C-alpha cells in the first residue's frame, strides 16, 4: 500500500475540518470505549488475563524460530503448503503464482490487514485475477474506488450511514436503502454468488497455532468462514509473529482479543483451519496455502521495539487514543493507524517514510493502559524518537533548541537569568488581560489557544528575596 | 538462500541464538499445555450451573434456546420452532442426523451437503462452551461445515452432556476423542452479525440470520 | 521529615504561587522543607523528544541535587512521573548512577500523593468557595495512580463541591511539545476537555499539572470564557499565601 504518513499534519488538518468525518468518529468514543470497559469489568480479573496474554506472546517470540518450525511441520503434515515471504513483493508473487497455476480468475477475500500491507489486491488485479472483498466494511471501501481502511477492526468507521446509502445507490443501481439492516442484506445478496463461484479464498490469520499447524480467524460476519470453506483453494496470508504455542494459549488470547476490540466476550465465529479437506468431506479446500510474511518483523524482533510484536491487532489502542479519536485513521497515511501504527509504520515501511508518526501522540498512556498484551506504546514511540535523533532525522532547529535549552538548564545561574528575562518578556506580551494571543515561534500553540502570561518574576527570584527578608 | 532460511536466520540473529537451539522449553510447554486464567464464577460448580450459563450467554448473543428431555422430541421441537417463526419446513441436515424421524414431525429434511440456496440447516455439535454460549463444530464427511453456514436459519441440537465450561475443555475433548483437529474447527456464537455501519449491530451478515439451539437431556 | 521541594520549571517560570502553595502545605504537614537552589528541570522534554544525552545530563544533575533528602516532592504528576517511572530506564547504562536513580525514584512523590499517603495531612487551609471540577492529568493518573488523593484533600475543605466531569481521565491535549508540533489537534483535544469541564457548571477547573492547566486555560480564554477559573490543586488547598 502506498504510504502518505509524512503528510500526517496536512491530513489531520483536513480531518479536523471534515464535519461528516467528525460525526462518524464520535462513535469510536461512544461505542468502543464503553464496550471494552464493560467487557473487562464483566470478565472479572481482566488484569490477570492481560498478564497472561503478555506472557503467552512473549513465550512465542522468545523462541519464534522454533514455534514457526513446529507450525510448519504440523501444517505440512496435515496437507497445507507453507510459503515464506521475506517482503510484500514476494508474498504477492507467491499468491499470484498460486492463482495462475490453478487457473484462478476470481478470489473472495476476508479482511486482512497484512494483505493491505502488501498491496495484494493491486498485485492480483495486475495479474488478471479479480479480488472481491467480502467483509462488509472492506467491500464498501473496495466499491468506493479502493479507498483504504481507516481502522484495523472497523474499516469504515470514518463513514456515516448516509454516505453508504448514497454509495450503494450509485454502485448497485438499486433504490436507496437507509435502514442498516437493508444495506447489509443488499451487500449479502450481491456477495453470496461470489462466494459460491470464486476459485480461491484469501484470508488473514489472527493466530497460528504451533501445536496443531492451524490458522485461526476471528470474525463476526461469517465471510471468513465462507472464504475458507467454499472455494477449492484457501490462501491464508499472515505475519510470522502471529504464532502461539498451544490451544490453551490460543484460548486465553481469544478471551482478550474480542473484549479489547469490540467488547464482545467472543466473536461470532472463531474458525480454526487445519490442513485440507479429507477424502469424504463435502466442503473445505483441496489446497491450503499459508504465506508467512516477514516484511521487517524479524528486524523488529532484534530491536528495542520488539515488544510491538506481541500485538494481536485488537485496535483498542486507537479506540482509546485521543488523537485517533480526533483525526481518524486516514491521517496516519498507511495500513496501521493510531498508536500501534505509529510504532509499526516506521518499522515496516521505513522511518524516512513515516518520521512524523512517532510524534503524533500526547504520551497520555491510555493506549498502554488498555492494551491486552501490555505493549508500552508511548515508550516505544519515545524509543523511535531516540532512533530519529541518533540517525540525525530531526530538524536542526529542534535539535539545536533542545541542546541549547539542556545546556542552559545545566547552568543554574544562566538558567535563572534566562527565565527571569523570559518571565518579564512574557508578562509584557500578556498586557493587562494577562493573555498572550500570539507568541513568536509558538504559533502551534497560539493559533488555537491563548497563552496565559506569567506573573513577571520567577519562583527562584521571589523565594530568594523572601529568604533574604527573613 | 531460500526465503525460509533467510527469515529463520534473521529471527535467530534477532533473538541472539547461536548454535543449535535448546528445544527443551518448547517441548516442555507443548507437553504441559498449561491453562491460563479464565472467568471464575459459581456457575462452574455444577452441571446445571454450566447449562444455565450456556443458556444465558447464548441468549445474550441472540440465539434462541429450548430444552427437551430426549432425542425423540427433537424433530417436533425443530418443527415447532420453524412453524412459529413462519420459516420454511424444508431443511438440510448433517448425515449424522439422517435417521431422526423428521418427516413424522412435518419437516422435509434431506441429509446432504448444503448448497447456497438452502434456507434451513440442522446440525448437532461436537460440544458446546458454556462460558461464552458457543457451539464447537468439527467438520467431517458426516458433519459438513457449510450446513451451519450457508442457510439463513441454523438449528443445532446440543446434548446436555456435551456442554462443557470452557473453550479449553472443548479442546481437551478434541484431543481425547479425535486425537487431532479436523479440517475446520468452528466456534459459533449465535447468528452472524456485522457492526461495520455506524457500529450498529445487525444480525445476518453473510451467515445465518438466526440460530436456534435445542438442548437435549 | 526532611523534604526537598522540586519546584518544576513550569511553576518557576509561569506560576510561582503554585510552588509557594506547595511549600505552605508541606510545612503545615510538619515537614522541614528545603528548596535546592540550583534546581532547574527534570529533563522530561529532552527525554520525550528522543534527546537522551541531554536528558541524561539533566537527570544526573537532579540526582546530585536531590539525593540527600528523605523525600522529594513535586507539584506535578508529570515531573514526578519522570523521576519515578523513567529515570531508571534513562540511567540503565550507568550502574552507579542507576543505583542512585532507583533510590531517588523511591523517595520521590507528587504533592497530593505525598500529603495524603506519607505526611497524612489532616486539615487544609484552603477557603475556595464554590464548585470545582477536577482534571486527572495523564502522567499522574497512569504512572503514579493519582486519582483519589487530590479529591480527598479537596474534600477536607468543607465548602467546596466537586462536580465530576465526564471523561475526566481523558488527555487535555497538552502532551508537552505535542502542543506546539500539532497545535490544531492539541486545541481540538483541549476543546473537548473544556466542553466536558464547563458542562459541569463548576466555577473552577482544578488539576495537578501546570502544563495541562495552561493548555486548558489558554483554550477557554481563546473561546471567550473569562469566568471559569483554572487553578492548580496546590493553590486551592493552600488558600491565601503571605
In this prediction, residues C25-36 reach a mean pLDDT of: 97
pLDDT digits (tens, 9 = 90+) for B52-61: 999 999 999 9
Q: Chain B neighbours among A 157-196 (CB < 8 Å)?
A: 157, 159-161, 164, 180-181, 183-185, 188, 191-193, 195-196
Binned at pLDDT 50, 70 and 90, residue A305 comes out as very high
pLDDT at C159: 84
Terminus-to-terminus CA distance in chain C, angstroms?
Answer: 23
What gap in Å lies between CA B10 and CA A309, rounded to an integer?
15
**How is A163-189 classified by DSSP, letter by letter?**
HHHHHHHHHH-S----SHHHHHHHHHH
- CB spacing of B10 vs A299 below 8 angstroms: yes
pLDDT digits (tens, 9 = 90+) for A165-183: 999 999 999 999 999 999 9
What gap in Å lies between CA A234 and CA A102, rounded to an integer?
12
- CB spacing of B181 vs A274 below 8 angstroms: yes
Chain A residues lying within 8 Å of C183, measured CB to CB: 443-445, 447-449
Q: Hey, what domains does chain B have and what are their CATH numbers?
A: 46-216 (3.40.50.10420)
Per 3-state DSSP, chain A is made up of helix, strand and coil in percentages (nearest 5) of 55, 10, 30
**Chain B interface, best mutation among A263, A272, A315, by max B CB count within 10 A:** A272
Short-list A247, A238, A235, CA closest to A206: A238
Q: Select the residue of A86, A135, A246 nearest B3 (Cβ to Cβ).
A: A86
ipTM above 0.95, yes or no: yes
Binned at pLDDT 50, 70 and 90, residue A467 comes out as confident
Q: Minimal Cα–Cα distance from A243 to chain C, Å? A: 30
In this prediction, residues A67-77 reach a mean pLDDT of: 98
Q: Is A382 helix (H, G, I), strand (E, B) or coil?
A: helix
β-partners of residue A259 are: none
- CB spacing of B140 vs A140 below 8 angstroms: no
**Are C50 and A388 spatial neighbours (Cβ–Cβ below 8 Å)?**
yes
Dihedrals phi, psi of C168, to nearest 5 degrees = -60, -25
Chain A residues lying within 8 Å of C222, measured CB to CB: 437, 448-450
Give the H or E element holding residue B194.
strand B193-194
In this structure, what C-alpha cell is assigned to residue A436?
Answer: 498572550
Q: Minimal Cα–Cα distance from C80 to chain A, Å? A: 15
User: What angle, rounded to 10 degrees, do the helices at A64-77 and B24-32 form?
Assistant: 60
pLDDT at C158: 83
H runs (alpha helix) in chain B? 3-14, 24-32, 47-60, 74-84, 167-173
pLDDT digits (tens, 9 = 90+) for A373-409: 999 999 999 999 999 999 999 999 999 999 999 999 9
**Are A229 and B184 spatial neighbours (Cβ–Cβ below 8 Å)?**
yes
What gap in Å lies between CA A290 and CA A295, rounded to an integer?
16
pLDDT at C130: 93
Counting CB pairs under 8 A, whether chains C and B reach 3 or more, is no
Burial class (CB in 10 A: 0-12, 13-18, 19+), A269: buried
Chain A residues lying within 8 Å of B17, measured CB to CB: 65
In this prediction, residues B160-165 reach a mean pLDDT of: 98
Short-list B181, B4, B132, B169, CA closest to A210: B181
Please state the separation of Cα A60 from the chain's center in Å. Answer: 21
- CB spacing of C50 vs A327 below 8 angstroms: no
Q: Is the pLDDT of residue C238 over 90?
A: yes
C175 Ramachandran zone, left/alpha/beta (phi>0; psi -120 to 50)? left
Rg (CA), chain A: 26
Short-list A205, A207, A211, CA closest to A246: A211
What gap in Å lies between CA B216 and CA B214, rounded to an integer?
6
Q: What is chain B's mean pLDDT, rounded?
A: 96
What gap in Å lies between CA A401 and CA A388, rounded to an integer?
16
What gap in Å lies between CA B17 and CA A303, rounded to an integer?
15
Q: Select the residue of A322, A369, A399 nearest C142 (Cβ to Cβ).
A: A369
CA atoms within a 13 Å half-sphere pointing along the CA-CB vector of A132? 24
Give the H or E element holding residue C221.
helix C210-222
Q: Minimal Cα–Cα distance from B15 to chain A, Å? A: 6
What gap in Å lies between CA A119 and CA A424, rounded to an integer?
56
pLDDT at B141: 95
Q: Minimal Cα–Cα distance from C93 to chain A, Å? A: 14
Q: Is the pLDDT of residue B29 over 80?
A: yes
Amino acid at each position: 500500500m502506498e504510504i502518505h504518513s509524512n503528510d500526517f499534519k496536512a491530513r489531520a488538518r483536513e480531518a479536523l475540518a471534515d464535519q461528516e468525518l467528525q460525526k462518524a468518529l464520535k462513535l469510536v468514543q461512544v461505542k468502543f470505549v464503553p464496550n471494552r470497559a464493560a467487557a473487562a469489568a464483566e470478565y472479572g480479573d481482566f488484569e490477570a488475563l492481560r498478564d497472561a496474554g503478555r506472557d503467552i506472546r512473549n513465550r512465542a517470540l522468545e523462541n519464534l524460530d522454533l514455534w514457526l518450525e513446529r507450525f510448519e511441520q504440523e501444517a505440512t503434515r496435515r496437507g497445507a503448503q507453507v510459503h515464506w515471504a521475506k517482503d510484500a513483493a514476494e508474498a504477492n508473487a507467491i499468491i499470484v503464482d498460486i492463482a495462475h497455476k490453478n487457473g484462478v480468475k476470481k478470489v473472495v477475500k476476508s479482511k486482512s490487514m497484512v494483505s493491505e500491507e502488501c498491496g495484494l489486491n493491486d498485485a492480483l488485479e495486475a495479474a488478471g485475477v479479480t479480488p472481491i472483498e467480502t467483509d462488509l466494511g472492506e467491500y464498501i471501501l473496495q466499491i468506493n474506488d479502493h479507498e483504504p481502511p481507516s481502522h484495523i477492526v472497523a474499516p469504515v468507521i470514518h463513514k456515516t450511514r448516509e454516505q453508504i446509502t448514497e454509495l450503494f445507490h450509485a454502485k448497485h443501481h438499486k433504490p436507496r436503502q437507509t435502514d442498516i439492516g437493508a444495506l447489509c442484506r443488499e451487500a449479502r445478496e450481491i456477495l453470496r454468488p461470489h462466494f459460491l463461484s470464486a476459485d480461491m479464498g484469501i484470508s488473514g490469520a489472527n493466530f497460528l497455532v504451533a501445536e496443531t499447524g492451524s490458522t485461526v480467524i476471528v470474525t463476526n460476519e461469517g465471510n471468513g468462514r465462507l472464504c475458507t470453506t467454499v472455494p477449492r483453494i484457501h490462501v491464508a496470508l499472515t505475519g510470522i509473529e502471529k504464532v502461539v504455542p498451544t490451544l490453551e494459549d490460543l484460548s486465553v488470547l481469544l478471551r482478550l482479543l474480542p473484549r479489547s476490540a469490540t467488547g464482545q466476550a467472543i466473536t461470532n465465529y472463531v474458525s480454526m483451519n487445519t490442513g485440507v479437506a479429507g477424502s469424504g468431506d463435502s466442503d473445505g479446500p483441496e489446497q491450503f496455502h499459508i504465506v508467512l510474511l516477514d516484511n521487517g518483523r524479524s528486524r523488529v524482533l532484534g530491536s528495542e521495539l520488539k515488544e510491538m510484536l506481541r500485538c494481536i491487532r485488537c485496535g483498542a489502542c486507537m479506540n482509546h487514543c485521543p488523537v485517533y479519536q480526533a483525526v481518524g485513521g486516514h491521517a496516519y497515511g498507511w495500513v496501521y493507524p493510531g498508536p500501534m501504527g505509529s510504532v509499526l509504520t516506521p518499522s515496516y515501511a521505513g522511518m524516512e517514510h513515516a518520521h512524523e508518526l512517532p510524534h503524533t501522540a500526547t504520551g497520555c498512556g491510555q493506549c498502554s493502559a488498555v492494551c491486552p498484551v501490555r505493549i508500552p506504546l508511548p515508550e516505544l514511540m519515545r524509543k523511535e524518537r531516540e532512533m530519529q535523533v541518533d540517525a540525525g532525522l530531526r530538524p536542526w532547529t529542534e535539535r539545536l533548541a533542545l541542546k541549547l535549552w539542556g545546556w542552559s538548564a545545566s547552568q543554574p545561574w544562566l538558567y535563572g537569568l534566562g527565565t527571569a528575562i523570559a518571565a518579564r518578556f512574557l508578562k509584557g506580551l500578556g498586557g493587562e488581560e494577562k493573555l498572550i494571543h500570539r507568541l513568536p515561534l509558538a504559533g502551534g500553540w497560539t493559533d488555537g489557544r491563548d497563552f496565559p502570561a506569567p506573573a513577571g518574576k520567577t519562583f527562584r527570584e521571589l523565594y530568594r528575596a523572601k529568604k533574604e527578608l527573613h | 538462500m531460500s526465503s525460509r532460511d533467510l527469515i529463520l536466520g534473521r529471527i535467530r540473529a534477532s533473538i541472539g541464538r547461536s548454535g543449535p537451539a535448546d528445544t527443551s522449553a518448547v517441548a516442555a510447554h507443548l507437553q504441559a499445555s498449561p491453562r491460563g486464567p479464565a472467568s471464575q464464577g459459581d456457575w462452574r460448580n455444577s452441571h446445571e450451573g454450566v447449562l444455565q450459563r450456556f443458556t444465558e450467554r447464548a441468549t445474550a448473543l441472540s440465539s434462541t434456546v429450548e430444552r427437551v428431555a430426549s432425542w425423540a422430541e427433537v424433530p417436533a421441537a425443530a418443527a415447532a420452532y420453524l412453524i412459529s417463526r413462519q420459516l420454511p419446513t424444508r431443511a438440510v441436515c448433517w448425515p449424522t442426523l439422517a435417521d431422526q424421524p423428521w418427516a413424522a414431525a412435518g419437516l422435509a429434511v434431506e441429509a446432504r451437503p448444503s448448497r447456497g440456496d438452502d434456507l434451513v440447516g440442522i446440525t448437532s455439535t461436537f460440544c458446546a462452551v458454556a462460558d461464552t454460549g458457543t457451539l464447537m463444530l468439527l467438520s467431517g464427511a458426516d458433519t459438513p461445515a457449510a450446513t451451519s453456514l450457508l442457510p439463513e436459519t441454523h438449528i443445532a441440537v446440543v446434548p446436555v452432556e456435551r456442554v462443557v465450561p470452557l473453550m479449553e475443555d472443548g479442546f481437551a475433548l478434541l484431543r481425547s476423542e479425535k486425537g487431532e483437529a479436523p479440517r475446520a474447527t468452528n466456534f459459533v456464537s449465535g447468528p452472524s452479525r456485522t457492526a461495520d455501519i455506524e457500529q450498529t449491530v445487525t444480525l445476518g451478515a453473510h451467515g445465518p440470520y438466526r440460530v436456534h439451539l435445542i438442548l437435549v437431556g | 521529615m526532611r523534604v526537598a521541594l522540586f519546584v518544576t520549571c513550569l511553576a518557576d517560570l509561569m506560576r510561582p504561587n503554585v510552588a509557594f502553595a506547595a511549600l505552605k502545605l508541606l510545612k503545615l504537614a510538619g515537614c522541614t522543607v528545603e528548596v535546592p537552589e540550583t534546581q532547574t528541570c527534570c529533563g522530561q522534554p529532552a527525554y520525550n523528544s528522543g534527546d537522551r544525552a541531554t536528558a541524561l545530563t539533566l537527570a544526573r544533575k537532579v540526582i546530585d541535587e536531590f539525593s540527600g533528602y528523605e523525600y522529594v516532592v513535586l507539584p506535578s504528576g508529570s515531573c514526578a512521573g519522570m523521576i519515578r517511572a523513567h529515570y531508571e530506564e534513562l540511567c540503565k547504562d550507568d550502574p552507579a548512577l542507576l543505583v542512585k536513580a532507583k533510590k531517588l525514584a523511591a523517595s520521590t512523590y507528587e504533592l497530593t500523593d505525598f500529603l495524603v499517603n506519607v505526611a497524612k495531612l489532616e486539615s487544609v487551609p484552603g477557603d475556595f468557595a464554590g464548585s470545582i471540577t477536577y482534571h486527572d492529568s495523564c502522567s499522574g493518573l497512569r504512572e503514579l495512580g493519582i486519582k483519589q488523593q487530590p479529591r480527598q484533600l479537596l474534600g477536607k475543605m468543607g465548602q467546596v463541591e466537586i462536580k465530576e466531569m465526564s471523561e475526566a481521565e481523558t488527555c487535555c491535549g497538552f502532551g508537552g511539545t505535542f502542543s506546539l508540533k500539532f497545535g490544531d489537534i492539541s486545541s481540538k483535544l483541549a476543546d473537548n476537555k473544556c466542553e466536558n469541564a464547563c458542562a459541569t457548571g463548576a466555577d473552577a477547573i482544578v488539576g495537578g499539572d501546570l502544563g495541562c492547566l495552561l493548555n486548558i486555560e489558554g483554550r477557554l480564554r481563546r473561546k471567550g470564557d473569562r469566568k471559569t477559573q483554572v487553578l492548580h490543586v496546590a493553590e486551592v488547598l493552600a488558600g491565601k499565601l503571605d
